[in-house]
């Protein structure tokens, strides 16, 4: 009875998690002024050149500064100067950007500053130029070179030359005598002025200067730490790293050299009615002395820690949704409200999708492979998953153009998704017919491997897809990996298919379309290895255009191409449900740049302990969730015995 055995194992794991939640670290360590938050996967370090996925991006943008940043509260998103003193001055032809820098910005004190005995020095334009060049250095294995590739005068020649240059992890200067050509497009005018010359118009240029890839750090840190720089970051930002265990936690402490930086005094409509949103207007940042970031690959331990008061904010795991949210009103249940817990909902600018490796001989190459991709897209039961795996917190997407973009076409229909009014039997019939017409014999088709991360939730998602594809005779097997292993397999072209999401880096559809541009193949963002000359020509034509009818027409044609080729199984976009405890103020979800740490404040008076700084545990909700989860396990076992659509 394998279902019963799995259920008993799940019960044992849940009991252990509950006990662990009841007996975690000393409450005295959870002091006022310490923000406690989490990331959903193991940490890969703090090197900005690697800020290509959620966890690394979160760490990088909260630790480092960039030239520009998104206004924390305003929606729609607006860029504001950060290390820059003002927005850039742009030449009439749109090719030259002159960027003034703020004066007196100092790096955090660190042993890498040998000549000053560890005292951090002032940041200058040379630091910005060095970081931009290192983002193009092949030996740094950058994930983000695509933001500058083909855009800045001389940058591509520099990147090509770096491949042949001698590898030196401690390289703190790029000298011509070592094989590095000068980059005319990066001019250090003086210590406080950087001039960038583009080879063509790049309407998204200022947007990318706010990304984690464009972070600024001192060359001394590279020279001192070498390959260990990723574990010893140095920045001008609000924090310095004081503890780091990549599989467990990181601890940040206030950077005493941090510049004057104030909490915003204005926000979006409705923010004035939220004292936790604008109550700290005008106060100097950061608002907390320490930040403790813990790794929670599994959602249930994270949830139990939130209920126990040991995390200040949390998302709502799918298996705990009904325990926290009333399904009829989609609002917090009374017991959560009684504890002062707040709920905020934000629609994410993202696409959730399953990706195919277009170089794979089974799912990527040839007409039969395209038929297999289309059949898989049709067979995956998105309607069932929306209800049972996402708690109805997702909206359907037909393609790559989100509704927020001016190029969005509300009439566009993806032919490889279930049609309105089409039954499950009918859509499966279409999938089988596709395979038959292409001459695909599913009985001879080898099992497709899908990379699946090591978490209960990811396993559940995989089992649902496995069940769905079995209905059209396609076998799919898991290849269990960590998040880091999956990223490495994708970069090497070894992964066959995998489920993932892409959240926007900036509010322009080009940020999604560049995921299909041929030259952006791994380790760039085109993880599918999609190579389509027609798409590439249109992408290059659209890349220099400002928003308007001409660009709209090209964007829509590109969307049609990738949908016809079924490079991705287009699934959903989520609504983010965020819960915060009453002692936390200042948290504002931002799906473009999760730079939240410095704005959050933990209030001792609101902790309910007379200001001693100890978060008191509330074990009743923990017990309630444990009982509810056990009931869920029982229900899953019952479903497994009574219907083929169970796990």
Helix (H) or strand (E) holding 158: helix 155-164
pLDDT over 50 (residue 385): yes
Regarding beta strands 448-453 and 497-503, do their DSSP bridges make them parallel or antiparallel, or are they unpaired?
A: parallel
Over residues 553-574, mean pLDDT: 98
Q: Verify that 379 and 476 share a domain, yes or no.
A: yes
Residues 393, 528 within the same domain: yes
- Pairing outcome for strands 448-453 and 476-481: parallel
Domain boundary among the residues 202, 236, 270 is at 236
Predicted confidence at residue 620, as pLDDT, reads 44
Q: What is the pLDDT of the chain when averaged over all its residues?
A: 90
Tokens 């277009």 found at: 358
Instruction: Please count the other Cβ atoms lying within 10 Å of the Cβ belonging to residue 438.
Output: 16
pLDDT of residue 32: 56
Q: How many domains does the chain have?
A: 3
Residue 496 in any domain: the answer is yes
Residue 69 confidence (pLDDT) = 97
Indicate if 317 and 403 belong to the same structural domain.
no
Least confident span in 2-6, 94-98, 599-603:
2-6
Same-domain pairing of 516 and 368: yes
- Whether residue 391 is contained in a domain is answered as yes
Q: Do residues 527 and 558 share a domain?
A: yes
- Asked if residue 82 and residue 10 are part of one domain, the reply reads no
Residues 384 and 505 in one domain: yes
What is the mean predicted confidence (pLDDT) over 406-413? 96
Measured between alpha carbons, how far is 145 from 159 in angstroms, rounded to an integer? 9
Are 336 and 433 contained in the same domain? no
Residue 54 lies in a domain: no
Residue 379, pLDDT > 80, answer: yes
Residue 310 lies in a domain: yes
Q: Is residue 251 part of a domain?
A: no
Closest-CA residue to 148 (of 162, 159, 160, 164): 159
Question: Which pLDDT score, from 0 to 100, does residue 604 have?
Answer: 73
Alpha carbon distance 30, 19 (integer Å)? 19
Q: Does residue 53 lie within any of the structural domains?
A: no
- The CA distance from 491 to 500, in Å, is 14
Q: What is the per-residue pLDDT for 365?
A: 95
On whether both 419 and 519 belong to a single domain, the answer is: yes
In a domain, 493, yes or no: yes
290: tokens are 């320490």
Q: Are residues 362 and 405 in the same domain?
A: yes
Is 434 found in the same domain as 308?
no
Burial class, 51, CB count within 10 angstroms (exposed 0-12 / middle 13-18 / buried 19+): buried
Task: Write the pLDDT tens digit of every residue in 312-355.
Answer: 999 999 889 999 999 899 999 999 999 999 999 999 999 999 99
Task: Count the helices and strands in the chain (H runs, E runs).
Answer: 19, 22
Higher pLDDT: 625 or 151? It is 151
* Per-residue pLDDT at 616: 52
Same domain, 333 and 195: no
pLDDT at 483: 86
299-307 vs 619-642: helix crossing angle, rounded to 10: 150
Domain containing residue 389: CATH number: 3.10.105.10
The pLDDT score that the predictor gives to residue 454 is 87
**Which of 528, 549, 574 delimits the end of a domain?**
574
Residue 173 maps to which CATH number?
Answer: 3.40.190.10
At residue 618, does pLDDT exceed 70? Answer: no
Residues 6+ apart with CB under 8 A from 125: 101, 188, 189, 190, 191, 192, 193, 194
508-527 mean pLDDT: 94
CA distance 358 to 351: 19
- Give 279-304 pLDDT, tens digit per residue: 999 999 999 999 999 999 999 999 99
Asked whether the predicted pLDDT for residue 114 surpasses 50, the reply is yes
Give the DSSP per-residue string, 360-399: -TTTTSHHHHHHHHHHHHHHS-HHHHHHHTSTT-EEE--S
Residue 315's domain comprises 2-37+260-343+582-635
- CA nearest neighbour of 598 among 249, 238, 259: 238
Tell me the three-class secondary structure of 570-600, residue by residue. EEEEEEEEEEECCCEECCCCCCCCCCCHHHC
212-254: pLDDT as tens digits = 999 999 999 999 999 999 999 999 999 999 999 999 999 999 9
d(Cα 270, Cα 489) in Å, to the nearest integer? 45
Q: End of a domain among 574, 590, 612?
A: 574
Instruction: Determine the average pLDDT of the residues in 584-589.
Output: 95
Domain-embedded: residue 631: yes
Q: pLDDT for 135-167, tens place per residue? A: 999 999 999 999 999 999 999 999 999 999 999
CB 449 within 8 A of CB 497: yes
Residues 6+ apart with CB under 8 A from 243: 249, 250, 251
Q: How confident is the model at residue 22 (pLDDT cuts 50, 70, 90)?
A: very low
Q: How far from 137 is each of 48, 169, 491, CA to CA, in Å?
A: 13, 11, 17
């Amino acid at each position: 009875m394998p279902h019963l055995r799995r259920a008993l194992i799940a019960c044992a794991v849940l009991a252990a998690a509950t006990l662990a939640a009841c007996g975690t670290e000393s409450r005295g360590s959870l002091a006022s002024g310490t923000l406690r938050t989490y990331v959903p996967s193991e940490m890969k370090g703090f090197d900005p050149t690697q800020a290509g996925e959620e966890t690394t991006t979160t760490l990088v943008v909260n630790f480092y500064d960039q030239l520009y940043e998104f206004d924390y509260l305003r929606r729609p998103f607006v860029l504001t100067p950060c290390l820059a003193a003002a927005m850039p001055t742009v030449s009439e032809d749109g090719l030259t950007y002159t960027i003034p820098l703020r004066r007196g910005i100092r790096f955090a004190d660190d042993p890498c500053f040998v000549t000053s005995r560890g005292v951090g020095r002032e940041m200058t334009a040379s630091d910005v130029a060095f970081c931009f060049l290192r983002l193009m250095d092949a030996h740094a294995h950058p994930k983000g070179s695509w933001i500058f590739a083909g855009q800045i005068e001389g940058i591509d020649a520099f990147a090509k030359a770096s491949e042949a240059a001698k590898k030196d992890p401690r390289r703190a200067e790029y000298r011509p005598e070592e094989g590095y050509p000068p980059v005319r497009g990066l001019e250090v005018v003086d210590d406080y002025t950087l001039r960038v010359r583009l080879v063509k118009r790049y309407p998204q240029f200022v947007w990318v200067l706010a990304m984690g890839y464009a972070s600024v750090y001192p060359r001394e840190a590279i020279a001192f730490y070498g390959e260990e720089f990723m574990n010893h970051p140095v920045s001008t930002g609000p924090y310095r790293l004081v503890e780091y265990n990549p599989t467990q936690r990181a601890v940040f402490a206030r950077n005493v050299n941090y510049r004057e930086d104030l909490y915003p005094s204005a926000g979006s409509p409705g923010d004035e009615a939220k004292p936790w949103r604008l109550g700290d207007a005008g106060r100097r940042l950061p608002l907390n002395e320490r930040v403790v970031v813990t790794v929670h690959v599994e959602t249930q331990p994270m949830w139990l820690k939130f209920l126990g008061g040991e995390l200040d904010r949390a998302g709502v795991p799918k298996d705990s949704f009904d325990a926290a949210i009333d399904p009829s009103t989609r609002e917090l249940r009374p017991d959560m409200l009684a504890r002062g817990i707040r709920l905020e909902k934000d629609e994410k600018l993202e696409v959730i999708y399953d990706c195919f490796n277009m170089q794979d001989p089974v799912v990527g190459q040839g007409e039969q492979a395209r038929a297999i991709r289309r059949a898989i897209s049709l067979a995956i039961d998105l309607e069932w998953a929306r209800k049972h795996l996402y708690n109805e917190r997702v909206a359907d997407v037909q393609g790559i153009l989100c509704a927020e973009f001016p190029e969005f076409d509300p009439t566009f229909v993806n032919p490889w998704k279930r049609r309105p009014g089409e039954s499950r039997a009918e859509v499966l019939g279409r999938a089988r017919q596709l395979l038959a017409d292409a001459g695909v014999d599913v009985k001879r088709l080898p099992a497709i491997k899908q990379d699946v991360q090591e978490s209960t939730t990811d396993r559940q998602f995989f089992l649902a897809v496995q069940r769905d594809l079995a209905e059209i005779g396609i076998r799919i097997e898991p290849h269990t990996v960590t998040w880091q292993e999956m990223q490495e397999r994708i970069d090497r072209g070894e992964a066959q298919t995998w489920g993932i999401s892409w959240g926007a880096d900036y509010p322009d559809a080009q940020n999604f379309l560049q995921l299909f541009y041929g030259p952006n193949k791994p380790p760039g963002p085109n993880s599918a290895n999609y190579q389509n000359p027609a798409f590439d020509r249109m992408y290059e034509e659209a890349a220099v255009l400002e928003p308007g009818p001409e660009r709209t027409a090209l964007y829509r044609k590109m969307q049609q191409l990738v949908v016809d080729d079924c490079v991705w199984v287009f699934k959903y976009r989520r609504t983010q449900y965020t819960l915060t405890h009453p002692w936390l103020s200042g948290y504002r979800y931002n799906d473009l740049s999760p730079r939240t740490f410095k704005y959050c404040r933990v209030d001792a008076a609101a902790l309910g302990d007379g200001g001693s700084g100890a978060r008191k545990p509330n074990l009743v909700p923990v017990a309630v969730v444990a009982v509810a989860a056990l009931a869920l396990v029982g229900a899953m076992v019952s479903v497994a015995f009574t219907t083929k659509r169970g796990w």
